[in-house]
Structure 1
Amino acid sequence: MVDFNQLVQQIAIYALPVLFAITLHEAAHAYAARRFGDNTAYMLGRMTLNPLKHIDPVGTVLLPLLSLMMGGFIFGWAKPVPVNFSALRKPRQHSRWVAAAGPLANFAMVFLWVGLLKLALYSHTAYSEPLLLMSKAGIAINISLMLLNLLPILPLDGGRIVESLLPPGWAWRYAQTERYGMWVLLLLLATGKLGIILQPFYGLMYDLIRMFF
């Protein structure tokens, strides 16, 4: 557990990176869906960089706050972007790109925050330390969100990608697991297995960052 002053400091550091991470993730899904023929998210105003359109009170605010308080894995979600997969021009092929758009946005943001981290390290102003801390948070959050969403569990993006790659009969059977997906995810989180599963991939991502920077 963290004390109150630490909690306030962590909220100040993490709030902006969290909002950017979820907003660009969901907006990327909406943009990709429209690009491939489905205007549902666009018509509902979800193809936007306004974070208020994507915030889920529990997933975006309460759970990340509890995660910070417990000092563990930062876990949460935004309001999912509605996608009518049957409206896509090539539903099976294009659905995987719609699903992949969110994690790809987070991947790009990792390197954006790395660039800001470098700027903070080489500048000497009153804003250098806050920018340094925020950049480290931005890197961690976007790696977390990307890796979490790439797990092959429906309704996560990784599950959608797997579903789109399976033969139709297998894809239908796999789709039936979606009703249990969030329960599986919460069980992994509650038992500490989620962090164990993702830790090697965290290491790979940080090695990749060091390779390029």
Structure 2
Amino acid sequence: MLTNIFSQAGLANLLLSLPAVLWAITFHEYCHGYAARLLGDPTAEREGRLSLNPLAHLDPVGAICLLLFRIGWAKPVPIDTRYFKHPRRDIVIVSLAGAAGNFLTAFVCAQLVNFLPALFGSWGAQQFILLMIIINLGLASFNLVPIPPLDGSRILYVLLPPSCLKYYFWLERYGMIIILALIVLNVFPYLMQPIMSLLLRLLLV
């Protein structure tokens, strides 16, 4: 995308991507906070993060990566596991909630395409709804990668036996560096392309 970003089509795609990116990261974090609230943790609500305002969740670097590379992240919603009655189970539920929100968005958008195709007769409408699907699927899939601080790492933390936690804590220390290095080296597209292709085929039947 970077090679043609300043072409007419590239700029159009960039502009159409902006609302999709803002929705994807906002709803992702809102779902984390909402799930935590349902499980007894009011931290996100108390700190103003149980909100659909994009400014409450925006991480500039993560948003730019999502905009340009279709993989990215938002500012994590604060969670206090001391409020959970079943911490191990509830951590998994809250961690999966963000990706679930993005998958739900992609599913709803795909159903609009499948059942109301007349709404998407123009190139702009078709491109926007496709970007909504791709960006939400990309954000969900990327955040399930088990590298800290991504959501998948919290699930990994719960599932790991105590004897392996020292490796997790090492990974946690360097997780962000590893993620940025994998983005720069363009590794994630090769890992995620088969998953994205499969999900798109399942949704756009």
Under a length normalisation based on structure 2, what TM-score does the superposition of the two structures give?
0.89
| 8 Å contact kept, 1:29–1:102 | yes
Gaps of 5+ in 2: none
2:52 pairs, out of 46, 49, 52, with: 49
RMSD: 2.0
Q: How much does 1:203 deviate?
A: 2.2
Assess if the C-alpha contact under 8 Å between 1:153 and 1:181 holds in 2.
yes
The equivalent of 1:70 in structure 2 is none
Say whether residues 1:150 and 2:150 are aligned partners: no
Whether 1:24 aligns to 2:31 is no
User: Partner residue of 2:110?
Assistant: 114
What pairs up with 1:93-172 in 2 under 5 angstroms? 93-118=89-114, 121-123=117-119, 128-171=122-165
Find 2:183's aligned residue among 170, 186, 189: 189
More displaced stretch, 189-198 vs 172-181: 172-181
**Is this contact kept in 2: 1:120–1:132, CA < 8 A?**
no
Q: Which position in structure 2 is the counterpart of 1:63?
A: 65
Q: Residue type of the partner of 1:185?
A: I
Q: Runs of 5+ in structure 1 lacking a partner?
A: 68-72
Structure 2 residue aligned with 1:205: 199
Contact 1:55 1:78 in 2 (8 A): yes
CA contact (8 A) 1:120 1:129 kept: no
> Partner of 1:177: helix, strand, or coil?
helix
